[in-house]
Amino acid sequence: MAEQFDVVVIGGGPAGYVAAIRAAQLGLKTACIDKHTGKDGKPAPGGTCLNVGCIPSKALLDSSKHFHHLQHQYADHGISVKNPSIDVTTMIGRKDKIVKQLTGGIQQLFKANKISYFNGTGTLHRDKAVSVALNDGGEQQLQAKHVILASGSVPIEIPGIPYDNEYIVDNEGALDFDHTPKRLGVIGAGVIGLELGSVWSRLGAEVVLLEALPDFLAAADIDIARQAAREFKKQGLEIRLGSLVKRATVSDGQVLVVIDGKDGEEQLTFDKLLVAVGRKAYTDGLLDEAGVELDDRGRIRVDGHNRTNVDGVWAIGDAVRGPMLAHKGSEEGIAVAELIAGLPGHINLDTIPWVIYTDPEIAWVGKTEAELKAAGIEYRAGSFPFAATGRGLAMGDAVGMVKILADAGSDAILGAHIVGANASELIAECVVAMEFHGSAEDLARIVHAHPTLSEAVHEAALHVDRRAIHRAN
Ligand code: FAD
Ligand code: NAD
């Protein structure tokens, strides 16, 4: 006999577990099925983000940043430490502990919210019947009034360059190296390539990023991308643009990579190769004659409210259209749970912030200058360098800038772009302003504490109207 639920969520990543918690808060009888197990073989909800994505990568970025600053920045403060060293095993162990704490925390939240959690693979059948092949063995049948599909994504594999998890690795492998590779090749100078490339470069690896496109970080605003590229170069990251990887083979413990570059075919040798060329929606084993349609990119097709073509079946997160970001999936999860409960759930895909946690950090929301030009929208741009802020100088971290783009007529903020320390936190103010249809003038009239990095946001907003105080207009 199948157990009855108001809502069954398949997938316990940031999209699925958040949807389950919100549904339970709203009084709906809820189950969440997630198949992931941790390094210790125990159930570990939290999806890619908590287990092998956002959180472990940030843990390693923070550890490696401390090590790098110790070697390259602390001397300016008068601090000297002779022969600093890093113990990679301790660093990885610290990361694993954080992951375990957070995945354990989700299981506590499931209990606190009376959510039935099944560790196994969920499959949706006709009429919202769901079967769970439990990791412990056996099968469980569930019957739902509503099903939320949140099965996430997996790394794209380049044909002919299969992952072997020793020499040719994906994000999971690169988060778990047991020593710093001497030479690390990275295919793709995108978000993962830059973040994980930075980690190992700061610890002493020679890192070469091989990027097929001719432009660096094409999704970011060009001024931000240029400044970031300059800083990464200074840090020793070698970024080779226009380098299409043709093949890679492993021989004698080395990875041989053949690229079609600017100067023709070239062979490069690495100790490890990280392939980070994007992710694709994952739906293996999820749908059994359920009638749910996929789009031409294999993503679950949804409308503006995350409804699939099957009544009562919804889909959220990386498995559907839109940016593959944890916060986007979580907000979709909340919106869908609220819609199921009869409330007006909503998510605005136009104000989703992007953050790249390199040093300097990169963050943006809304349109780039190139996108506004292409759309023929008249705009005014204001910018302000962190080098002109007292706080940036006091911190010894004054690289980068804030750039704000506002509609030439209405002054509405159309985009905000930041490269610099704490960009990940500073962008939140710009998101709030855009969500409330704020103008550059609104940001300019808000009092910002002194001395803070947020004064650069304030000054950039003033500069839109050419009345910045601490820079020439
Ligand atoms: P997932 O997190 O992929 O979760 C899906 C879960 O469903 C998985 O546990 C999977 O095993 C499970 N599952 C799939 N099918 C089934 C099934 N049939 N039955 C049961 N369980 C199933 N995003 C950010 O916003 N910020 C970051 O800093 C960031 N850093 C990242 C760093 C890296 C290295 C990577 C790889 C990604 C990063 N991301 C980041 C992206 C972020 O991880 C994803 O956008 C996010 O995890 C997507 O959430 P999701 O719930 O849709 O899917
Ligand atoms: P990405 O799309 O950010 O970057 C992939 C890069 O690989 C692109 O620049 C692309 O041009 C390049 N590329 C593709 N094929 C290539 C080839 N054959 N040779 C050389 N270059 C090639 O993808 P990613 O870095 O794998 O990350 C996947 C997704 O995970 C991101 O788009 C993002 O949604 C999410 N993520 C987010 C964060 C964050 O929010 N901080 C961090 C990591 C990952």
Residue 146 binned pLDDT confidence (cut-offs 50, 70, 90): very high
Residue 161 lies in a domain: no
Asked if residue 393 and residue 328 are part of one domain, the reply reads no
The total number of structural domains in the chain stands at: 3
Mean pLDDT over 434-451 rounds to 98
Rounded to the nearest angstrom, the distance between the alpha carbon of 168 and the centre of ligand 1 is 21
Whether residue 263 has pLDDT greater than 90: no
Whether 396 and 254 share a structural domain: no
User: Which tokens in the block code for residue 234?
Assistant: 């200074």
pLDDT at 123 over 90: yes
Q: How confident is the model at residue 290 (pLDDT cuts 50, 70, 90)?
A: confident
Single out the residue in 350, 384, 400 at which a domain terminates: 350
Q: Residue 371 is part of a domain; what is its CATH number?
A: 3.30.390.30
**CB-based contact 179:41 (threshold 8 Å):** no
Ligand 2 center from residue 376 Cα (angstroms): 28
Domain around 294: 3-155+280-350
Identify the residues whose C-beta falls under 6 Å from ligand 1: 10-16, 33-36, 47-49, 53-54, 57, 121-122, 150-153, 171, 192, 282, 285-286, 317-319, 324-327, 329
- Ligand nearest to the backbone CA of 210: 2
Spell out the alpha helix ranges (H) of 304-400: 326-340, 369-374, 390-395
Is residue 355 included in any domain, yes or no?
Answer: no
Of 82 and 8, which is predicted with more confidence? 8
Is residue 356 classed as helix, strand or coil in its secondary structure?
strand
Q: Do 238 and 105 reside in the same domain of the chain? A: no
CA angle 238, 190, 385 (to 5 degrees): 75
The predicted-structure confidence for 212-239, as pLDDT tens digits, reads as follows: 999 999 999 999 999 999 999 999 999 9
pLDDT of residue 185: 98
> 327-366 pLDDT, tens per residue?
999 999 999 999 999 999 999 999 999 999 999 999 999 9
The DSSP output letter for 190 is: S
| Residue 15 in this model has a pLDDT that exceeds 90 | yes
Q: 262 pLDDT band (50/70/90 cuts)?
A: confident
Which whole number is the average pLDDT over 162-186?
97
The protein residue with its alpha carbon nearest to ligand 2, atom 3, reads 190
% of the chain at pLDDT higher than 70: 100
Same domain, 333 and 437: no
Q: Given this model, what pLDDT does residue 189 score?
A: 98
261 with 367, same domain? no
364 and 345, same structural domain? no
pLDDT at 261: 74
**Is residue 118 domain-resident?**
yes
pLDDT tens digit sequence for 316-327: 999 999 999 999
CA of 17 to the centre of ligand 1 (A): 11
Per-residue pLDDT at 431: 98
Same domain, 263 and 335: no
In a domain, 135, yes or no: yes
Domain of 309, CATH number, reads 3.50.50.60
Number of other CB atoms surrounding residue 240 within 10 Å: 16
Alpha-carbon distances, residue 231 vs 147, 224, 420, 425 (angstroms): 46, 11, 10, 20
Ligand 2 atom closest to residue 243's alpha carbon, by position in its atom list: 20
Question: Of 350, 381, 410, which closes a domain?
Answer: 350
Over 90: is that where the pLDDT of 117 sits? yes
pLDDT at 13 over 80: yes
User: Which domain-ending residue is among 217, 245, 277?
Assistant: 277
Whether 37 and 144 share a structural domain: yes
Tell me what the pLDDT averaged over the chain comes to.
Answer: 97
